[in-house]
């Protein structure tokens, strides 16, 4: 089975053999935890490997995605003009009289049409099998605007495209909306890989927001099941967090507090 590293720091380190080509991998977690940042790393990694990237943006305007990508790599616009990076706009609402988006457009209210659009782009651009990254950021709008069966059909269809072209599919999923837990589980169950992101609950209670991730599953691959603490640096880079250092800071803060009480 051909395997590949995602180009994402930390995640690649903890999945020894890499992700099987043809996999659909979900990044699940609350808003602001870093799902899009992880995906941006994978996009830059794929472009650097001369892969094609098809990126459907449902959460932001394509121009905003481009600016973020450009902050990581200056070559992004060149990749857009050579069609190596194809952005699909699932965000912009067409308003009469306002100049429309020049990007290929899809609507979150018609998820199966989005799959057809992806497939047409693949067929028209003679993509090399095994050298394609497909991104859906995020699945949220599709989840909120469609009945559960259609959402799952979208996930299954996307997985089918990934398998057919030995592509790697990355999907971000905002979790935490009450009542949707069963659907989240079904989406994760249908996916080949699941990476869960969240804040450490004990430290969150103390007002310390520590991000952490857990590789829940990767098809046919051994991997760590540990929670791995990470941080997103000012330049968007992802870095491991030294928990021992945090514990020592907390101990020191507690002993200073203790000193104030006993005075």
Ligand X SMILES: Nc1ncnc2c1ncn2[C@@H]1O[C@H](COP(=O)(O)OP(=O)(O)O)[C@@H](O)[C@H]1O
Residues near ligand X (CB under 6 A): 29, 31-37, 68, 71, 172, 232, 234, 236
Contact 83, 53 (CB under 8 A): no
User: What's the rounded Cα separation, in Å, for the pair 16 and 18?
Assistant: 6
Q: Cα(211)–Cα(85) distance, rounded to whole angstroms?
A: 30
- Nearer CB in complex with ligand X: 23/36: 36
Give which of ligand X, Mg ion, none residue 32 binds (C-beta under 5 to 8 Å, depending on kind).
Answer: ligand X
Cβ proximity to ligand X: between 69 and 127 the closer is: 69
* CB 136 to Mg ion: min, Å: 11
- Edge-to-edge strands of the sheet including 132-137? 104-105, 85-89, 52-57, 132-137, 168-174, 24-29, 193-199, 211-218, 227-232, 238-240
- Dump strand ranges (E) for the chain: 3-4, 19-20, 24-29, 52-57, 85-89, 104-105, 132-137, 168-174, 193-199, 211-218, 227-232, 238-240
Instruction: Write out the H or E segment, with its range, that includes residue 69.
Output: helix 62-72
Which residue's CB is nearer to ligand X, number 53 or number 122? Answer: 53
**Nearest CB to Mg ion, comparing residues 36 and 175:** 36
When the beta carbons of 228 and 232 are compared against ligand X, the nearer one is 232
Total residues contacting Mg ion by CB under 5 A comes to: 1
Which residues within the stretch 12-71 sit at the binding site for Mg ion (CB under 5 A)? 36
Provide, rounded to whole angstroms, the least separation between the CB of residue 32 and Mg ion.
8
3-class DSSP state of 136: strand
Q: Write out the two tokens for 153.
A: 């059909």
3-state secondary structure of 24: strand
Residue 71 binds which entry of ligand X, Mg ion, none, CB below 5-8 Å type-dependent? ligand X
Q: What, of Mg ion, ligand X, none, does residue 244 touch, CB below 5 to 8 Å by kind? A: none
Residue 169, binding choice from Mg ion, ligand X, none, Cβ under 5 to 8 Å by partner class: none
Of the pair 137, 192, the CB lying nearest Mg ion is at 137
- Cα distances from 121 to residues 115, 118, 127, 129, 133, in angstroms, run 10, 5, 9, 14, 13
Locate the DSSP E strands across 69-163: 85-89, 104-105, 132-137
Phi/psi for 146 (5° steps) reads -135, 160
Q: Closest separation between CB of residue 138 and ligand X, Å?
A: 7
Rounded to a whole number of angstroms, the minimum distance from the CB of residue 208 to Mg ion is 23
Shortest separation between residue 209's beta carbon and Mg ion, angstroms: 17
**CB 253 to Mg ion: min, Å:** 32
Q: Which residue minimizes CB distance to Mg ion? A: 36
In the complex, the smallest distance separating the C-beta of residue 258 from Mg ion, rounded to whole angstroms, is 41
Helix axes 181-190, 148-164, angle to 10 degrees: 20
Kindly report the backbone phi and psi dihedral angles of residue 257, in degrees, each rounded to the nearest multiple of 5, phi listed first.
-65, -45
The residue at minimum Cβ distance from ligand X is 236
| 34 interface partner picked from Mg ion, ligand X, none, CB below 5 to 8 A per type | ligand X
Cβ closer to Mg ion: 20 or 169? 169
Residues binding Mg ion (CB under 5 A): 36
């Amino acid at each position: 089975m051909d395997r590949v590293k995602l180009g994402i720091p930390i995640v690649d380190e903890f999945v020894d053999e890499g992700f099987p080509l043809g996999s659909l991998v979900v990044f699940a977690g609350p808003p602001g935890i870093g799902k899009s940042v992880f995906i941006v790393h994978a996009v830059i990694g794929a472009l650097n490997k001369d892969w094609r990237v098809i990126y459907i943006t449902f959460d932001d305007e394509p121009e905003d995605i481009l600016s973020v990508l450009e902050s990581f790599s200056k070559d992004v616009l060149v990749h857009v003009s050579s069609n190596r990076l194809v952005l699909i706009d699932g965000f912009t609402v067409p308003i009469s009289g306002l100049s429309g988006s020049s990007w290929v457009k899809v609507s979150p209210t018609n998820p199966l049409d989005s799959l057809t659009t992806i497939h047409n782009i693949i067929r028209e651009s003679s993509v090399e099998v095994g050298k394609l990254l497909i991104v859906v950021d995020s699945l949220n709008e599709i989840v909120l605007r469609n009945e559960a069966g259609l959402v799952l059909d979208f996930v299954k269809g996307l997985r089918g495209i990934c398998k057919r072209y030995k592509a790697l599919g990355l999907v971000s999923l905002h979790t935490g909306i009450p009542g949707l837990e069963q659907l989240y589980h079904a989406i994760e169950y249908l996916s080949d890989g699941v990476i869960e992101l969240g804040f450490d609950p004990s430290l969150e209670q103390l007002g310390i927001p520590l991000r952490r991730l857990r590789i829940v599953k990767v098809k046919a691959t051994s991997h760590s099941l540990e929670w791995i603490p990470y941080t997103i640096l000012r330049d968007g880079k992802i870095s491991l967090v030294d928990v021992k250092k945090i514990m020592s800071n907390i101990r020191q803060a507690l002993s200073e507090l203790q000193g104030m009480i006993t005075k």
